[in-house]
């Protein structure tokens, strides 16, 4: 769609901001019991480990500070969540539509893209560098 090409940087920034914003809420849900909390009996490493990563990485991605490393850590966390929380309980079924792991798989790949692309415009990294666009250097 050529008509959106002039807005690609802004659309990418919105993707980064909204992804971080929504991911942060998953951490708040686990750590603080907000938005319905987590089911009783959830293991501590899920509540504190995954919840901490979701909250901290979500905030970092949201504001665009150290987006590459934060998104890479979040991507790995979501890959682990997909396999441990969806594939294994579904007796090895790797199809996200069957094992209900669509959200974890989608987060995994969106964060992988964000980690490769960098912070972009409207980010703390861009402001710190004094440039229009903060990207990952090769």
| Polymer length of the chain | 138
Instruction: State pLDDT tens for residues 52-67.
Output: 999 999 999 999 999 9
Instruction: Give tens-digit pLDDT for 57-102.
Output: 999 999 999 999 999 999 999 999 999 999 999 999 999 999 999 9
CB of 72 closer than 8 Å to CB of 111: yes
Q: What pLDDT does residue 11 have?
A: 97
Q: Which stretches of the chain are assigned E, i.e. beta strand?
A: none
pTM above threshold 0.95: no
Measured distance CA(35)–CA(84) in Å, rounded = 23
For position 45, what pLDDT does the model report?
A: 86
Lowest pLDDT segment from 10-24, 100-114, 117-131? 117-131
**51-63 and 67-82 helices cross at what angle (nearest 10)?**
140
Could you tell me the residue ranges of all domains in the chain?
2-129
CB atoms within 10 A of CB 128: 12
Q: Are 100 and 86 in contact (CB under 8 A)?
A: yes
């Amino acid at each position: 769609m050529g008509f959106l090409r002039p807005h690609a940087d802004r659309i990418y920034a919105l993707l980064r901001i909204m992804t971080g914003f929504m991911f942060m809420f998953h951490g708040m849900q686990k750590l603080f019991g907000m938005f319905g909390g987590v089911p009783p009996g959830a293991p501590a490493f899920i509540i504190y480990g995954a919840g901490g990563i979701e909250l901290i990485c979500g905030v970092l991605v949201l504001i665009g500070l150290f987006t590459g490393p934060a998104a890479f850590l979040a991507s790995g966390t979501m890959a682990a969540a997909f396999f441990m929380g969806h594939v294994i309980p579904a007796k090895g079924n790797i199809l996200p539509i069957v094992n209900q792991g669509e959200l974890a798989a989608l987060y995994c790949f969106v964060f992988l893209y964000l980690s490769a692309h960098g912070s972009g415009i409207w980010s703390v990294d861009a402001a710190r560098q004094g440039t229009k666009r903060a990207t990952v250097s090769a």
